[in-house]
Amino acid sequence: MRVVDLLTPERKTSNESTPLRLRKQHTSFTSYRAIFALVLREISTTYGRSAGGYIWAVLEPAAGVVLLTIIFSIGFKSPPLGSDFAYFYASGLLAFTMYADISAKLGQSIQFSQRLLSYPRVTFVDALLARLLLNTLTQLIIHLIVMTFVVLISSADVSIDMSKLVIGYAMVIVLSAGIGTLNSFLSLAYPIWATAWAVLSRPLFIASCIFFVFDAVPQPYNDYLWYNPLVHIIGMMRDGYYPYYQPNYVSVVYVFVVGLTTLCIGLFFLNRYHRDIILK
């Protein structure tokens, strides 16, 4: 079945009015079908039509993270937490790359699905949700592959708190959705914004506590770093990978407030202006 077939609304065969409850159910089903069609289009366009394309898309970044982990573990023998730098580095880097990938993909959602948005059954929310679901799943698979490899080669005594990791992943997803949705509007309204954001966000790789722990940063610099939501996310992730680590600075509420605020702002402006901008 083609993606266009899934997006094309069915023709009515009767002049009778549809009951309100059935109409709501049909609309909900149509939205799910549109999201599913957009996910299929994303897979076939980005990864190719074969399963090998998606597998390679997962293995390539996973191999890159593993390579960086090995390289940095050679240069840094003594990590701030635990006894194995590869394990310490991966626990922070994976959260950062997940945020960076999902937010970047969401930031280009409207442009990527611009032609399909002309269909009455497809909304910009469908385009955002399709990319969020697919790229979140992809990143979770990458995390599983990388951490399995790191644990196998690590000399550290591994003890994982899954409840903390679930909270950490929820924080990443909400923040990525918020920043990505807001950037989706800004890049539509101001095409130069995508380039400007890429430059402005580069220091986050250093300032997100990937190579060090927040507790080791002296004042007043730690006060400035606290406002970086990624610091809280990585702190929560490391709390899950190191049960004895107690990052008292982590604020789950702060990350959710930032993520949901940017999400609401992005959705508001996209709902109001996205068609006007696209039709220009």
Tell me the domain boundaries of the chain. Answer: 50-278
pLDDT of residue 24: 47
Q: Is the pLDDT score of 25 beyond 70?
A: no
pLDDT of residue 179: 97
Higher pLDDT, 76 or 219: 219
pLDDT of residue 85: 82
Q: Is-contact 144 71, C-beta < 8 A?
A: no
Q: Is the pLDDT score of 98 beyond 70?
A: yes
Q: Is the pLDDT score of 8 beyond 60?
A: no
pLDDT, one tens digit per residue, over 191-222 is 899 999 999 999 999 999 998 999 999 989 99
Higher pLDDT, 71 or 182: 182
pLDDT of residue 17: 47
pLDDT of residue 48: 66
Task: Return the HEC string of 219-278.
Answer: CCHHHHHCCCHHHHHHHHHHHHHCCCCCCCCCCHHHHHHHHHHHHHHHHHHHHHHHHHHH
pLDDT, one tens digit per residue, over 83-97 is 788 888 889 999 999
Buried b or exposed e, range 218-228, using 16+ CB within 10 angstroms = eeeeeeebbeb
pLDDT of residue 79: 80
